[in-house]
Amino acid sequence: MLELLADFGETLLSTLRDVTPIVVILVVFQLGVLRRRLPNIRGIATGSVMVLLGLALFLIGLEQALFPVGETMARQLAETAGEAVRAGAVRWQDYWVVYLFAAAVGFATTVAEPALIAVALKAKEVSGGAVNPWGLRIAVAVGVAVGVALGCFRIVTGTPLPWYIVAAYVVVIVQTYLSGRTIIPLAYDSGGVTTSTVTVPVVAALGLGLAANVPGRSPLIDGFGLIAFASVFPIMSVLGYAITAEQLARWRKRRERREVES
């Protein structure tokens, strides 16, 4: 218990250190440029303290409960799969448990990502409820799941990273021209917010563990790239979700009109 308290204090300090530059910049601009007191400063201060405390508590909990389990599991899964194939050449099919784990972890960590929750809340508020925050988060999480699983497949097969990323970019460009204007900025943003506090450590451990255990891969070179996958694929899944929803709505409207006419 005492150890936990000490850990909490340490995490709180490091969180404070991370936000110090933000606080300094905000105070300088507020006092130096705007020269005005913030409206409702008490509410903002209380809320900011809650965000800090909450984040520190969240991080310490992750370190206690999730990261050790997630990291050990990533390593063990990669090792078990690695042993099975060490005798012969690397066959990508032998790693199916790893892909399954990658997809499940990618999905689950993204749903819990605090930054994504924040953006989804904002999107709901701005769109007047048209964007369903839960739907948005599920779409993003599906994208991360597919991306991370494909990224693991790439590490196992050792195929060049640029092929995948360039192909993904081409798909995103095509989708951009197919989808409605209003969803595009939000979809692009969803790529950047997925990879924060929860997702990066677990996914990075998975990539490093896999690269270290697959014969012929170097963790230094092949361990990179999973985060890139996790940042591009959500853009695709959000745009895909929006395009499908739009087409469905159009199709439904057309059918209704036909029913009225007949």
Partner 1 sequence: MQHTREEHGLPRFALAMAKQILGALRDLAPIFAVIAFFQIVVLQQPFPDLANVLVGLVCVVLGLALFVQGLESGLFPLGEALAQGMARKGSAIALLALAFCLGFGTTVAEPALIAVAAEGAKVASEAEFIGDSQAAQDRYALELRVVVAVAVGLAIVLGVLRILKGWPIHRFIIGGYVLVMAMTVFAPEEIVGMAYDSGGVTTSTITVPLITALGVGLASTIRGRNPMLDGFGLIAFASLTPMIGVLGYGMVV
Residue with tokens 């409605």: 180
Site residues for partner 1, 46-65, by CB under 8 A, read 46-65
Residue 165 near partner 1 by CB under 8 A: yes
Single residue of 166, 178, 248, 249 touching partner 1 by CB under 8 A: 166
Write the CA distances from 249 to 147, 154, 252, 256, integer angstroms: 28, 37, 5, 11
Residue 171 near partner 1 by CB under 8 A: no
Q: Which is nearer to partner 1, 16 or 249 (CB)?
A: 16
Burial of 182: CB neighbours in 10 Å, binned 0-12, 13-18, 19+: exposed
Selected range binding partner 1 among 82-90, 169-177, 240-248, 252-260, rule: CB under 8 A:
169-177
Single residue of 146, 148, 152, 227 touching partner 1 by CB under 8 A: 227
Residue 169 near partner 1 by CB under 8 A: yes
Q: Which is nearer to partner 1, 90 or 204 (CB)?
A: 204
Q: Which are the contacts of 258, defined by CB distance < 8 A and separation ≥ 6?
A: none
Q: Which is nearer to partner 1, 16 or 254 (CB)?
A: 16
Site residues for partner 1, 111-140, by CB under 8 A, read 111-112, 114-115, 117-119, 121-123, 125-127
Q: Cβ distance 227 to 172 under 8 Å?
A: no
- Give the distance from CA 44 to its chain's centroid: 27
User: Taken in order 23, 29, 34, 35, is the CA torsion positive or negative?
Assistant: positive
Single residue of 5, 24, 31, 248 touching partner 1 by CB under 8 A: 24
Both tokens assigned to 145: 């799941």
Selected range binding partner 1 among 43-51, 86-94, 242-250, 254-262, rule: CB under 8 A:
43-51
Q: Which is nearer to partner 1, 24 or 248 (CB)?
A: 24
* Angle, vertex CA 55, rays to CA 103 and CA 152, nearest 5: 20
Single residue of 77, 136, 214, 236 touching partner 1 by CB under 8 A: 77
CB of 261 to partner 1, least distance (A): 34
The count of residues interacting with partner 1 (CB under 8 A) is: 105
Q: Cβ distance 174 to 137 under 8 Å?
A: no
Residue 13 near partner 1 by CB under 8 A: no
Single residue of 172, 205, 214, 242 touching partner 1 by CB under 8 A: 172
Q: Which is nearer to partner 1, 3 or 261 (CB)?
A: 3
Q: Which is nearer to partner 1, 126 or 248 (CB)?
A: 126
Q: Cβ distance 239 to 183 under 8 Å?
A: yes
User: CA 174, CA 30: separation in Å to the nearest integer?
Assistant: 42
Selected range binding partner 1 among 81-89, 164-172, 248-256, rule: CB under 8 A:
164-172
31 DSSP assignment: I
User: CA 106, CA 102: separation in Å to the nearest integer?
Assistant: 6
